[in-house]
Amino acid sequence: MVRRLVARRLLPATLAAAALLSLATCELFRMSAFPGFLSRVVVARDLGGQIDSLVDRYGDEWEGQVRVLRDAGGEDYVFVLVRVFGSTRLITLDSDLNVLGTFDDPSLGSRAMVDASNRFVIGKVVLNNPPSSRNALSAPGGSDDPGFASGGANFVLGVDGGVSPDELRYEEFDDAWTSLDPPESVPIDSVIRLDNWNLPLVFFDPVAAGKEVILVLNNWASGIFEIVFTPAAAYESGSLTGDVVAYPSFEISAWDIQDISYTRRGIVVSTWDRSLTVYDFLGVPRQGLQEEINTRNEIRQAYDMDGEYFYYFDKTERFLYKGLTGWPEL
């Protein structure tokens, strides 16, 4: 009788629970108080040993960036740049996040490129391949001026704000970083946004024929980013034309953009509110590829060129994560 009583009272509760479960989507099972990307991590590396001594006394008042560069042989390397009150440190790692080297140099900067000799250039510092040692060469231009290498030549780009409309300036160097030609300049946008441009990032993808050089132009006055796809051959021949924004491009309007990365699966735009969106090359957000990075930590992001792996630098905990994006190819 007791069992019958219990069964009679438990049955409705069990049925209700089953009904709730049947309504539950996979999303419920994915929910976690922890950062969602953890389950896609394939390697995690504590960089505290490389960073702590430099930044500990400054609290959060330091900047960390991460970039991924693919050499001519298709090997990826990771570069973590730490800047704090006059000191700059670079930590280089292979794609398994094994630390290859640590470099302190004030001429390090946000420029990150593979040069024409298959070396790595971070700021003005030239590193050998693999990047466990530095080369005696020093790259020209400002340490934050982006660049790329194509056709056996190195190119350094920047914005000439001394004229109106602002112009995109690029200069060609040989593989020993000797200038080959005087800088060339073309207007960026002589119609809508004449001035107030800067060029924080340039990506180079040798496989993306006809749109190999991807410029990330920022008009800081209007808060827009212009992603422009330009052919490398135009730089090599000095035939790049203005307006630059007339090349295939799209615009992203946001004031809180944190990182922009080019991948073959789309342009990844992350914001300081810890969310990211993947845009196709026409500027349309890819369906299902809007993600929240569920953490209170400050995460800086970079991706391999294929868009297969993410590299998250958790500045707060000084951890570097490599993980699978899981994104479908375009």
Partner 1 sequence: MLYFVAAASLGAQENSAGAGLSACVFAVVDLSDSGENAQFQQIIREQLELELSGAGFETVPAARWQAARDQLGYGDLELTEGTKAIAVGEALDVQVVVTGFYRIEGGRIVLELKAYDVLQRAFITGVLRTGTVDLSMYTLIDTAVARMLPEIRLFSVDPGSIDAQQVKEITLFSQDEDAEVYLAGEQFVGRVRQGALTLPYFPLAVGSTIRVVTRKDGYYPHEQEIAIREPRVEETLKRLTRRTRWATELTWTTNQLLGFGLAQRWYPLPDILFLALEHDFYLQHGLTAADRAVIHNDLKLLVGGYPFSPVDAAFRLGLSSGLGMIITYFTLPDQPVFTDFYWSVINTFIEWNFPRLTIFLGSEMKYAFGIGKNLLRRGIAGEGPFVSLGAMWKW
Binding of partner 1 at residue 34 (CB under 8 A)? yes
Residue 314 is which amino acid?
Answer: D
For partner 1, give the closer residue by CB, 6 or 176: 6
**From the CB of 264, what's the least distance to partner 1, in Å?**
16
- Which residue type is seen at 66? V
* Residues 304-323 interacting with partner 1 (rule: CB under 8 A): 316-317, 319, 323
Site size with partner 1, rule: CB under 8 A: 37
Nearest CB to partner 1, comparing residues 13 and 207:
13
Between 33 and 207, whose beta carbon lies closer to partner 1?
Answer: 33
Residue of the chain from 23, 26, 136, 207 that contacts partner 1 (CB under 8 A): 26
Question: Min. distance of Cβ 266 from partner 1 in angstroms?
Answer: 16
For partner 1, give the closer residue by CB, 24 or 330: 24
**Cα–Cα nearest to 50, from 32, 64, 35, 60:** 64
Nearest to partner 1 of 230, 325 (CB atom): 325
Q: Which of residues 4-23 bind partner 1 (CB under 8 A)?
A: 6, 9-10, 13, 17
The minimum distance between CB 327 and partner 1, in angstroms, equals 9
Q: Which of 110, 121, 127, 129 is nearest to 72 (CA)?
A: 129
Q: How far apart are CA 288 and CA 247, in angstroms?
A: 28
Question: What are the CB-based long-range contacts (under 8 Å, 24+) for 130-133?
Answer: 130/75, 130/77, 130/92, 130/94, 130/100, 131/77, 131/79, 131/92, 131/100, 131/101, 132/92, 132/100, 132/101, 133/101
Closest CA to 290 of 301, 303, 274: 274
Question: Concatenated DSSP letters for 259-291?
Answer: EEEEETTEEEEEETTSEEEEE-TTSPEEEEEEE
- In this chain, which of 19, 38, 176, 180 binds partner 1, going by CB under 8 A? 38
Residues that bind partner 1 (CB under 8 A): 1-2, 6, 9-10, 13, 17, 24, 26, 28-36, 38-44, 46, 294-297, 316-317, 319, 323-326
